[in-house]
Amino acid sequence: MAKCDLSVELDEPNRVYHEGEKVQGVVHVKVDSTVKCTGLVLSTGWKTHGRGNVTGGSAEETTVFSGQWTQGTKYEYRFSMSASDWPQTYHGQFLSIDHYVEAKAKIPWSFDPKAAAPFMVRVTQLPTWHAEELSQNLKKSKKPQTIGLLLVAVFFVPQLLFTGWIGAGLLVFVGLAATVYWLKQKFLPRYLLGTPNVYVPEDSLVPGSKLVGEFITQTRKTVVTNAITVALRGTEVCVSGSGSNRTTHRNVIFEQIEQLQSNTTLQAGNENRCPFAFQLPEDAALSVNLKENSLIWSIEVEVDIPRWPDWRKNKSIYIVPADEKRLGSGSDQSGAGVMMASAPLAREKSQADDSATENSKSAIAEGVTFVETVAQIWAVRDDPDQLEMVVDAVTELSFTIEAQVERRLLYAGDEDPHVYKDGYAVWARYPAPRLPLVLYVPHDLGDEFEQLGRGVWTGSGVVVGWDSLHGRLQIKLDSSS
């Protein structure tokens, strides 16, 4: 088998690149015998490495050569490609993020040789899409957890009761445990402290800046506390494995604890205010949330009450790139800090997105084609909120579908409501862009699909939703009968 050596050489391996800047260099190729290459593909992007499941993203991809490489000849291909706009290069204990230029030679009937060179990226500005994502996360975290509890009650309580005394006993036990937890963690501390709260006027900050906040409470009774402490922490949180092998690894990269008061008496009816301030390190790592790899900053206030359950409150803060702050002002304790921090950008994107969604809806009303629908979905496939909006807009609409069949599903999953009786599901892709699809095939089209193999199928169908687990547009095909 022919040996093909690839190497990537950067012009400036020690340069610090900023988002979107061009990374330049050369790819060297050396082959020990004449070999056909169907594509020398170069790409820029980032990857996590360390204890968490690997995640990554790409910025630019280009094919610089296809053809024949002759034995004994050395080839060189110069490149100039854009760096990603997010995340920043980071090297920690459990989590690391690096950017690479990667070269891959596609060699028929052989393993594709690869080479990569790392380069350093420092982000000066939060990408607009990321600012939106963070603000969405903040909003989501504010949703009351009672919705979850209600869902548990609605779905699990009847099931447990069906199992008789064992189920009822289990239910009582779970209920008791929840009550004890609620009493200890929520009710009892609040019973003494009244309405304790942590106020942070600005929860998106830049490295080197000052974090200020206040613990405020008005107690019902006079309370003597052992101590009131506040801690600022930066933590790497990485998840490895999945299912029963899933493990969460945490590593505190920064911790500073301040004692605000000790052996203090909080007088009943008086408003007690304990201000605090932390100086963030100049080299503080930026907050990131990359699927199963996160870097989380938070402050935790704890009130130690003698012979009584302690009160604790954790509040997330976001460390954003330094230049980001020039784009807007901070936030209030509503938790919309990141959105506020990049308000002009976020607003601009939001308006653009709103208008895109409106446009898509009106276009659909005018009779959008499947090609246009696929293009819209493809464009927003990495943005869950936008994707949901576009899919919602086209759900229940009928189209003339073109799809390249990939695989038949042996089993469509528990309780998939879209599968026809005696029918089956097929995984397919739209030819270009290659948007993944799930086609629900009725029984009478079974033979047609059987004969088609992996060919392209054309016919009519209705969009019924989005399979978020596998990232596929779900389409129920029309029965010919």
Partner 1 sequence: MMFTPDDKSPSIEWLPWARFNLHRNPFGELTPDERAELAIVDVDYLIEMLGDPRQAVQFIGECGRGKTTRMLKLRSVLPRASYTYIPEHPPCPPIVLGNPILVDEAQRLSRSARRSVFRSQCSLVFATHNDLSKSLRKHGYHVYTEHIGEGNGPELICELLNRRIEASRLQSGVIPVVSIEDAESLVAEFGNDIRAIENRLYLQFQKNLEGGVDGEM
Q: What residues make contact with partner 1 under the rule CB under 8 A?
A: 7, 13-14, 16, 49-54, 89, 91, 93, 96, 98, 116, 118, 120, 240, 242-245, 407-416, 425, 427, 469-470
Contact 235, 255 (CB under 8 A): no
Q: Rounded to the nearest whole angstrom, what is the least distance from the CB of residue 481 to partner 1 in the complex? A: 25
Q: How far is the CB of 89 from partner 1 (least distance, A)?
A: 8
Minimum distance between the CB of residue 256 and partner 1, rounded to whole angstroms? 20
Nearer to partner 1, 48 or 272 (CB): 48
Supply the minimum distance, in Å, between the C-beta of residue 407 and partner 1.
5
Which CB sits closer to partner 1, 247 or 329? 247
| Cβ nearer to partner 1, comparing 51 with 130 | 51
The structure tokens 């696929």 sit at: 374
Sequence-ordered list of residues with C-beta below 8 angstroms from that of 371, at least 6 positions apart, any chain: none
Q: Is 388 helix (H, G, I), strand (E, B) or coil?
A: helix
Q: Which is nearer to partner 1, 7 or 314 (CB)?
A: 7
- Pairwise CA distance, residues 156 & 260, whole Å: 44
CB of 294 to partner 1, least distance (A): 15
The residue count of the chain comes to 481
CB of 140 to partner 1, least distance (A): 22
CB contact at 8 A, 73 and 4: no
CA–CA gap between residue 322 and residue 353 (Å, rounded)? 26
> For residue 251, with 0-12 CB atoms within 10 Å meaning exposed, 13-18 middle and 19 or more buried, which class applies?
middle
Q: Which is nearer to partner 1, 50 or 127 (CB)?
A: 50
What spatial distance separates the first Cα and last Cα of the chain, rounded to whole Å? 54
Nearest distance, CB of residue 428 and partner 1, angstroms: 12
Residue whose CB is less far from partner 1, 13 or 384:
13
Residue 236 CA to residue 92 CA, distance in Å, equals: 8
Q: Is the peptide bond before 433 cis (omega within 30 degrees of 0)?
A: yes
The residue among 12 and 388 lying less far from partner 1, judged by its C-beta, is: 12
Decide: helix, strand or coil at residue 19: coil
